[in-house]
């Protein structure tokens, strides 16, 4: 975080030596975190449109650079190697972006301490999309029993999905801001994020 700025209620604000001020600071990056099926990509695209910012989907960048779906990278190289790829891709993204950008993170990105530190060092505001688990199960089309057709390598069935979510939830709650997405459209969630981060919509 740049000198002369402090975090207040999860948002960076300006300060002076004589008297702190609660003046909103617009982040360079808004990164959306949350479990698989939380809507990170859809809300991220809507938020980028609303603000007139660029948009990057981390999983899509990984798939483009390695010319393989995420599921196959997991199968061929295992999760530890995938996490290294994920961190290196995120590092590259935050290094080359030249303007305000919304990033949709992978479901396991922010829970890795290295990635969380990288985002904070990059002056990002991290937003947790808090979505009911039943909605995420339906969106991900997870079967009650394990299926080889499941495209989610870490959530083979309902029990695995719920267990992994419970493990990750405390780390998601370390985000700067949490937005409850239940009962809202993608656009409504985008407006909620912009409002709470005090970022004016693009005219």
Domain tally, the chain: 1
Quick check: is 180 in a domain? yes
Rounded to two decimals, what is the model's pTM? 0.84
Q: What is the pLDDT of residues 77-114, one digit of tens each?
A: 988 999 999 999 999 999 999 899 999 999 999 999 99
List beta partners, residue 33.
128
Q: What is the pLDDT of residues 131-183, one digit of tens each?
A: 999 999 888 876 654 455 555 566 667 888 899 999 999 999 999 999 999 99
Quick check: is 52 in a domain? yes
Quick check: is 20 in a domain? no
Q: How far apart are CA 25 and CA 114, in angstroms?
A: 24
Where does the pLDDT of residue 7 fall: very low under 50, low under 70, confident under 90, or very high at 90 and above? very low
Quick check: is 121 in a domain? yes
More confident residue, 203 or 173: 173
Quick check: is 129 in a domain? yes
Quick check: is 90 in a domain? yes
Q: How far apart are CA 34 and CA 16, in angstroms?
A: 34
Q: How far apart are CA 114 and CA 92, in angstroms?
A: 14
123: alpha, beta or left? (left if phi > 0; alpha if psi -120 to 50): left
Quick check: is 93 in a domain? yes
Q: What is the pLDDT of residues 180-199, one digit of tens each?
A: 999 999 999 999 999 999 99
Quick check: is 51 in a domain? yes
Q: What CATH number is given to the structural domain containing 186?
A: 3.40.50.300
| Cβ proximity of 99 and 56 under 8 Å | no
Domain coverage including residue 76: 26-196
């Amino acid at each position: 975080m740049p000198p002369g700025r402090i975090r207040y209620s999860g948002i960076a604000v300006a300060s002076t030596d004589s008297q702190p001020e609660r003046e909103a600071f617009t982040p360079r990056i808004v990164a959306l975190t949350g479990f698989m099926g939380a809507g990170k990509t859809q809300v991220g695209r809507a938020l980028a449109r609303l603000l007139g910012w660029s948009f990057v989907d981390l999983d899509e960048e990984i798939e483009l650079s390695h010319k393989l779906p995420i599921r196959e990278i997991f199968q061929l190289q295992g999760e530890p190697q995938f996490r290294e790829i994920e961190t290196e891709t995120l590092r590259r993204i935050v290094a080359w972006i030249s303007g305000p950008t919304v990033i949709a993170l992978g479901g396991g990105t922010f829970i890795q301490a290295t990635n969380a530190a990288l985002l904070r060092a990059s002056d990002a505001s991290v937003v947790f999309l808090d979505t009911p688990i039943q909605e995420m199960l339906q969106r991900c089309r997870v079967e009650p029993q394990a299926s080889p057709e499941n495209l989610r390598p870490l959530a083979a069935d309902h029990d695995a999905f719920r267990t992994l979510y419970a493990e990750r939830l405390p780390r998601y709650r370390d985000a700067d801001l949490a937005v409850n997405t239940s009962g809202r459209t993608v656009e409504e969630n985008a407006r909620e994020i912009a409002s709470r981060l005090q970022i004016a919509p693009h005219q």
